[in-house]
Structure 1
Amino acid sequence: MAYVPIQLSGHSFDPGSPELPAPLILSRVAQSSFLREPEHPIFYAEALLDQWERLGARVINGSETLAIDSSKARQLSLITSLGLAVPRSRVVHRARDVLAAAEGLSFPVLVKANIGGSGAGIVRFNSMEELRVASLDVRLPVSVDQVLLIQEYVPPRGDSILRLETLGGQFLYAIEVESSGDSFDLCPADACIAQPGRRPIRMAAATPPQQLIEAAERIARAANLDLGGVEVVIDDRDGTPRFYDINAMSNFVADPLTVLGWDPHDRLVDYLENQLGDGKKA
C-alpha cells in the first residue's frame, strides 16, 4: 500500500488553504515526542489534524482522539463515565497543591505527568513524608501542560498488566506485560524495546475475559479511538479491573509472529484500504 510520510518537524500549514495532503491520513503522533525534542508537535498536531478534518479528510485517530490521548485526566473521566473502575486519583495544575490533594488517598501513590509516554513522568511515593520531601526539593514530575495526577498505586495481580489493542473499535489482541511496581515503562513496541539501556520486559499473548474485551471496546468507541490500546490492571486486593490508560498509537507488540503467531500490521493495512475505499465511494 503506497503512502507518503509527513514529518511534523519543520512543518507548517495555512489555516486559510483548502489543500489536503491526502483523503486518508493516519496520525502517528506519540505522547512521548516531548522526550525527543523540547519543541514537540503534540499541541501543533491537534490544530493540524482539526484543519484536515474540517477540509474533509478521514483522519485515523483524529484531533478529538489526540486530545484524549494527551490527557490522562480526561482518560480517567471518560472511563469513569462508562461505569468502569479506575485507580483513585486526584488532579491538580500546581505542584504546590499535590500534598493537599494526596490527603485521603492510601499510600503508596504515583504522581503522574498528565502528558507522558513510555513511562515518563511517573514517580512512586511510599509515604506522605516521602511526598512532602520531594515537594520541598522540587523532585516531582513535570508535565508539559503543568497538570499532575496523584493516584493510588494498584498492586497488580500476577505482577502484570493487560494491554488490549483495538482496531476500528473492535478487539484485535491482548498481551500481558510484566509490571514490577517500580518501573512504569511498559511500552511493548519495537521502537521502545530497542532503546539503549532499557531493561527487557516480559510479555506474552493473553486471552482476556469477555467482560474486559467488551469494556475495552466501549472505551475505544467513546474515545473515537480508531487504532490503539487500552490498559487495565487487576487489583490484587479485591480482583477489581481498574482501567487507567488509553494509547492512541499503533504500538503493536515487538516480534508479533513470535508473541502472537500473526502480524497485526496486516489487519491494519486491510483496515486502511477499506477506509480509503469508503472515502472514494463517498
Structure 2
Amino acid sequence: MTEPVVHVIHENPDWFAPFAAAFGAEGVPYREWLLTGGALDLGAEPPPGVYWSRFSASAHTRGHAGAKEHTRAVLAWAEAAGRRVVNGRGVLEFEVSKVVQLTALRAAGIEVPLTRVVIGTDGLLAAAAGFPTPFVTKHNQGGKGLGVRRYDAVADLAGDLAAGEYEEPVDGVTLLQEYVAPVDGSITRVELVGGEFVYAIRADTVHGGFQLCPADACALDPETGRPILPPGATLAPIPGQSLFSLREHVDPTLVESYLAFTAAHGIEIAGIEFLESADGRVLTYDVNTNTNYNAEVEAVAPRSGPVQIARYLRSLLSEARSAA
C-alpha cells in the first residue's frame, strides 16, 4: 500500500518554497499536486494521506483559468472517499468569492465595509449612483488586489467604462465598496493555523496601495526586478524597504472572533485582513484561505507560519495513519 503523505494541491510553484523548506525541516513527507491540467479518474481510489488545498483566487492571471474547476474536482473526489482535507470544498468557495466572505462575516457579527454587488458591467453605473464616494471597485474573485481601483466620483468610473479601461472580473461579478482610509496608513493581516493565532502583520498601504500580497514573489516586476508601484499607492515602494512588519498587539477579542468564525466554516489555515478607520471602526474585508508569509516578518516573528502549518499537517497525517 502507498505510504500516506501530505498532498499539497496548488498551481503556483513560485509560492511554495517556504513550505517545502518547513516540510523538510519538520520531516513531513509531501507531494506537490499541480492543478494545471490533466485527467482525474473518479473510479480510482484517492492516494492515502492528508489533502491541503492551496488554490489561489488569482490562478487565472497565471494562465491557469481551469485550476479552479480542477481543484473542485480533486477536493470533491478526495472528500467523497473520506480523505482528510484541509481547507476543502466549502472553504474553496471563500477563496474564490468575496461575496461569500463578506456575507459570512456579517452573519457572524463582524463588521465589514459597506458593499454593493453588481453582476455584469451594464448595471455598474446605475449601482454606483448614490453610493457613497469615494468608493473602490473590486473583483469578486480577486487575489493580489485584482480590480481594486479607487473612484472619487461616479463620472470617473463612467470615463473608464467609456474608454474601455475597466478591468473585467473573471466571474463577471464586481463589488462596489466604500473607500475607508486606514487611520495610520496600514492594514493588518491576522494569521491563523489549526485553530491558533500565529501572529499579525502590518502592511503599508501608503507604499503598497491595494496590492498587498506578502509573498516575496509578489514584490518585484518579473522583467525589471524593480519594486512595482501598486494601484492605490500614494508613494512608490522604496527599494530595500519592506511593506510588511510584525504587529505586536491585536485586540484579543477580535482574534477570538476570527478563530470562532474560521472554526464555524471549517477554515483551518487563513490570513484575515482588517483596517482601523479614523472614526474608530474596525472593518474586516478579506479572508485569504491561500495565505502566504513574508520572509522579513518571519525572521522576527515569535513563531513561523510555514512551520506551524507543517506541524499541524504532520499531526493530521499521524491521525490519518492511525485510522488506516
TM-score, with normalisation over the residues of structure 2? Answer: 0.81
Structure 1 position 212 matched with structure 2 position 224: no
Distance 1:112 1:189 in 2: 21
Q: Secondary structure at the match of 2:190?
A: strand
Q: Which residue, out of 36, 41, 50, partners 1:14?
A: 41
1:98 aligns with: 124
How far does residue 153 in structure 1 lie from its aligned partner after superposition? 0.6
Q: How many residues align?
A: 280
Query: Does the C-alpha gap of structure 1 residues 38 and 7 become closer, same or farther in structure 2, counting only changes over 3 Å?
Result: closer
Q: Secondary structure at the match of 1:119?
A: coil
**Contact 1:30–1:249 (CA under 8 A) maintained in structure 2:** yes
1:187 aligns with: 213
Query: Does the C-alpha gap of structure 1 residues 193 and 26 become closer, same or farther in structure 2, counting only changes over 3 Å?
Result: same
2:307 aligns with: 266
Structure 1 position 243 matched with structure 2 position 270: no
**Contact 2:190–2:199 (CA under 8 A) maintained in structure 1:** yes
Q: Secondary structure at the match of 2:122?
A: helix
Q: Secondary structure at the match of 1:135?
A: helix
How far does residue 229 in structure 1 lie from its aligned partner after superposition? 0.4
Q: Secondary structure at the match of 1:255?
A: helix
Distance 1:244 1:138 in 2: 28
**Contact 1:114–1:147 (CA under 8 A) maintained in structure 2:** yes
Distance 2:137 2:193 in 1: 30
Deviations 1:162-186 (A, max 9, x none): 1001011321110010112982110
Structure 1 position 5 matched with structure 2 position 32: yes
How far does residue 138 in structure 1 lie from its aligned partner after superposition? 3.1
1:147 aligns with: 173
Deviations 1:120-161 (A, max 9, x none): 221111111101222222322311111110111111110000
Deviations 1:10-29 (A, max 9, x none): 332123x1411332011121
Between 51-60 and 197-206, report the one with greater CA deviation. Answer: 197-206
Distance 1:155 1:221 in 2: 30
Distance 2:66 2:293 in 1: 23
Between 50-59 and 157-166, report the one with greater CA deviation. Answer: 50-59
Distance 2:127 2:205 in 1: 26
Structure 1 position 120 matched with structure 2 position 146: yes
1:252 aligns with: 293
Between 221-230 and 191-200, report the one with greater CA deviation. Answer: 191-200
Query: Percent identity over the alignment?
Result: 32
- The residue type paired with residue 246 of structure 1 is V
Query: Does the C-alpha gap of structure 1 residues 257 and 69 become closer, same or farther in structure 2, counting only changes over 3 Å?
Result: closer
- The residue type paired with residue 41 of structure 2 is D
Q: Which residue, out of 240, 261, 273, partners 1:231?
A: 273
What do you get for the CA RMSD once the two structures are aligned? 1.8
Deviations 1:36-67 (A, max 9, x none): 10534023212221111111111111111011
- The residue type paired with residue 118 of structure 2 is V
- The residue type paired with residue 54 of structure 1 is A
